[in-house]
Amino acid sequence: MQDLNSYVQQERIGTGGYGDVYRAVRIIGGDVVALKKSRSDAECIARTKREIEVQRRLLHANVMPVLDWADDGSWFVMPVAKGDTGLVHSLTPLRGAELLRYIEDVAAALSAAHRRDLVHRDVKPANILWLNDRWVVADWGFVRLPSGEVQTKLTRTGVGSESFTAPEVYRDGSAATRACDVYSLARVVGSLHRDA
């Protein structure tokens, strides 16, 4: 594990509900990485910490890996993806075998999480990225942990994106089940079909 001073931060390449992602260069070795920095309020840091823990726990080919991190949840490092679903689909529409591969990759990531009683709760095009010739699911900060593992309640109201999240979860995040992730994936695939 490095510290934040091991990286030179460059331009911002993404922004989300509780943090921003920057292109960065590791000083030793010169590797280009994606550096996600949490916003400074307590809930954002707690969500980033949860994201780090879950992504490190899953260790699945279709889950975005964590390369380096701060134990306090203030930042972590990932590989740089080539783009999210929206960008890739706008350049080369996902149809036929490519769309099937997309569904299989995302379903494999969600299945790995569901076997551990984890529910992503925020499956949407922006959280599905093309990395090293495969699709990976990222942004696990809204994940519902197994009931015995929840230490602090971060979700007081609904989570996710209204366009893709199951209605019951959008109203109340604690209502999330595995079926809600499947629903969200179906909504994502439907949106790709409309855009094709």
| 117 annotated active-site | no
Max CA distance (Å), the chain? 47
Query: Catalytic pick from 122, 133, 139, 181?
Result: 122
Distances (CA, A) of 116 to 72, 120, 121, 130, 149: 24, 11, 14, 24, 11
Closest CA to 174 of 145, 140, 149: 145
State the Cα–Cα distance between residues 124 and 132, nearest whole angstrom: 20
3-state percent breakdown (helix, strand, coil) of the chain, nearest 5:
40, 20, 40
Backbone angles phi, psi at 187, to 5 degrees: -65, -40
Q: Tell me which residues are annotated as active site.
A: 122
